[in-house]
Amino acid sequence: MAIITTIPIIFGIVVNIPLVISIAILTFFVPISTYYFGLVLMARAKSKKEEEERKKITFTGY
């Protein structure tokens, strides 16, 4: 979803489109793509933390 919601913005950067369409794309897709990218970042940070927890050598006692 993060990639899909970014496609219209990239399309607008690459192709010269009218101002009204640019405004519509930006106001609709920037918040949504920010949200989905946030979810991706959150998932990455979570999996990294879990990986660190898993690799951590814990003292199991005698």
Give the total of residues touching another protein (CB under 8 A): 25
- Residue 27 or residue 60: which is nearer to another protein going by CB? 27
Contacts to another protein from residues 5-34, by CB under 8 A:
9, 12-13, 16-17, 19, 22-23, 25-28, 30-32, 34
Question: What DSSP line would sit under 2-62, residue for residue?
Answer: HHHHHHHHHHHHHS---HHHHHHHHHHHHHHHHHHHHHHHHHHHHHHHHHHHHHSPPP---
Query: Nearer Cβ to another protein, position 3 or 46?
Result: 46
